[in-house]
Amino acid sequence: MSREITKSPKGIAAASAGASQAPALDFGRAWDYAPALEGVSHIKLQPRYGLFIGGAFRAPRSDKYFATVNPSNEQVLSEVAEANAADVDDAVRAARLAYEKYWSKMRGAERAKYLFRIARALQEKARDFAIVETMDGGKPIKESRDFDVPMAAAHFFYHAGWADKLDYAFQGRRARPLGVAGQIIPWNFPLLMAAWKIAPALACGNTVVLKPAETTPLTALLLAQLIEEAELPPGVVNIITGAGETGAALVNHADVNKIAFTGSTEVGKRIQASLAGTGKRLTLELGGKAANVVFADAPMDQAVEGIINGIYFNQGHVCCAGSRLLVEESAHDTLVRRLRDRIATMRVGDPLDKNTDVGAINSKMQLDRIRELVDAGEREGATRYSAPCALPSKGYWFAPTFFTGVAQSSRIAREEIFGPVLSVLTFRTPDEALEKANNTMYGLSAGVWTDKGAKIFWMAERLKAGVVWGNTFNKFDPSSPFGGYKESGFGREGGRQGLAAYVELDG
Q: How far is CA 407 from CA 166, 288, 322, 414, 423, in A?
A: 49, 18, 17, 10, 9
Residue of the chain from 82, 285, 353, 487 that contacts ligand NAP (CB under 6 A): 285
Alpha-carbon span 209 to 236, nearest angstrom: 8
DSSP letter at 101 equals I
Using CB under 5 A, which of 27, 65, 68, 401 touches Mg ion? 68
Three-class SS state of 122: helix
Sheet (strand 75-81) strand order: 48-49, 75-81, 65-70
Binder among 262, 283, 292, 426 for ligand NAP (CB under 6 A): 262
The candidate with the shortest Cα–Cα distance to 194, out of 136, 138, 149, is 149
Residues paired with 327 in a beta bridge: 294, 426
> Smallest distance from the beta carbon of 189 to Mg ion, in angstroms?
14
384 scored as a contact of ligand NAP (CB under 6 A): no
Phi, psi for residue 66 in degrees, rounded to 5 = -135, 160
Choosing among Mg ion, ligand NAP, none, which partner's interface includes residue 470 (Cβ < 5 to 8 Å by kind)?
A: none
Q: Per CB under 6 A, which of residues 297..326 are in contact with ligand NAP?
A: 319
Strand order across the beta sheet in which 324-328 lies:
383-386, 401-404, 421-427, 324-328, 291-294, 445-449, 467-470
Residues marked active site are found at 285, 319
> Three-class SS string for 263-323?
CCHHHHHHHHHHHCCCCCEEEEECCCCCEEEECCCCCHHHHHHHHHHHHHHHHHCCCCCCC
* # of chain residues touching Mg ion (CB under 5 A): 3
Sequence letter at residue 155: H
Candidate ranges 77-85, 129-137, 281-289, 330-338; the one touching ligand NAP (CB under 6 A): 281-289
Please list the alpha-helical segments (H only) found in 345-452: 364-379, 411-414, 430-438
Nearer Cβ to ligand NAP (147/427): 147
Residue 187 found at the interface with ligand NAP (CB under 6 A): yes
* Residue ranges in 207-246 that form contacts with Mg ion under rule CB under 5 A: 215
Backbone angles phi, psi at 492, to 5 degrees: -125, 150
CB of 101 to ligand NAP, least distance (A): 28
186 counts as binding ligand NAP under rule CB under 6 A: yes
Check residue 367 for interaction with ligand NAP (CB under 6 A).
Answer: no
Q: In the set 204, 286, 406, 499, which binds ligand NAP (CB under 6 A)?
A: 286
Nearer to Mg ion, 179 or 190 (CB): 190
136 binds, among ligand NAP, Mg ion, none (CB under 5 to 8 A by kind): Mg ion
Restricted to residues 87-146, the positions that interact with Mg ion (CB under 5 A) are 136
CB burial string 208-221: b at 16+ within 10 A, e below: bbbbbbbbbbbbbb
**Site pattern 51..70 for ligand NAP (x: CB under 6 A):** --------------------
415 binds ligand NAP (CB under 6 A): no
Residue 68 contact among ligand NAP, Mg ion, none, beta carbon within 5 to 8 Å by kind: Mg ion
Query: What is the spatial distance between Cα 251 and Cα 279, in angstroms, rounded to a whole number?
Result: 12
Residues interacting with ligand NAP, by CB under 6 A? 184-188, 211, 213-214, 243-244, 247-248, 251, 262-264, 267, 270-271, 285-288, 319, 416, 418, 444, 489
Residues interacting with Mg ion, by CB under 5 A? 68, 136, 215
